[in-house]
Structure 1
């Protein structure tokens, strides 16, 4: 998953950050989320999920407080094949 952050993300995310992190930790514990994080310039987010299908990942992204409150402004999912 590649996504974009809103302008002023560091200030705007504050009210939603703990709920966001709690949800990500639950996904990680369930084995669905492999890793996620921002680019160094905090303009984009990148995540790797291990899910049955794209719809499962969309549901996870769209239930995240960052998506629901406009911190993530857009996203796209690309199926990835691990070569090595």
Structure 2
């Protein structure tokens, strides 16, 4: 299993506010499935970060593109494979 850091950059603040509940529900469902490891917003309001677990960049990209924030144009995204180092088991 690989980890992917997905940066969700603000494109449209109004849409971000409007679709926030849908986005959070989307992430909660994926967290419950074990696909999302963690997520959070940047304190400066510029967007947020989601850490996904997946088999490949392509599989994570297809999930990210189903996020209401991406589907509605509220946010843009950048994906980077991430080599996590932790003292904790997730």
| TM-score normalized with structure 1 length | 0.82
* More deviation, 74-83/57-66: 74-83
Of residues 31, 34, 37 in structure 2, which corresponds to 1:31?
34
The structure with the largest helix share of the pair is 1
Quote how far apart the aligned CAs of 1:5 are: 0.8
Tell me what 2:79 maps to. 77
The structure with the largest strand share of the pair is 2
Tell me what 1:67 maps to. 70
Quote how far apart the aligned CAs of 1:32 are: 0.4
The runs of 4+ residues in structure 1 deviating greater than 6 Å are none
Q: Where do residues 46-57 of structure 1 align in structure 2 (5 Å cutoff)? A: 46-57=49-60
Q: Which runs of 5+ in 1 are unaligned?
A: none
Tell me what 1:22 maps to. 25
Aligned residues: 81
Quote how far apart the aligned CAs of 1:14 are: 3.5
CA distance in 2, matches of 1:16, 1:65: 7
Give the RMSD, CA atoms, in angstroms. Answer: 1.5
Tell me what 1:3 maps to. 8
Cα distance change on mapping 1:14 and 1:2 into 2, 3 Å: closer
Quote how far apart the aligned CAs of 1:57 are: 1.4
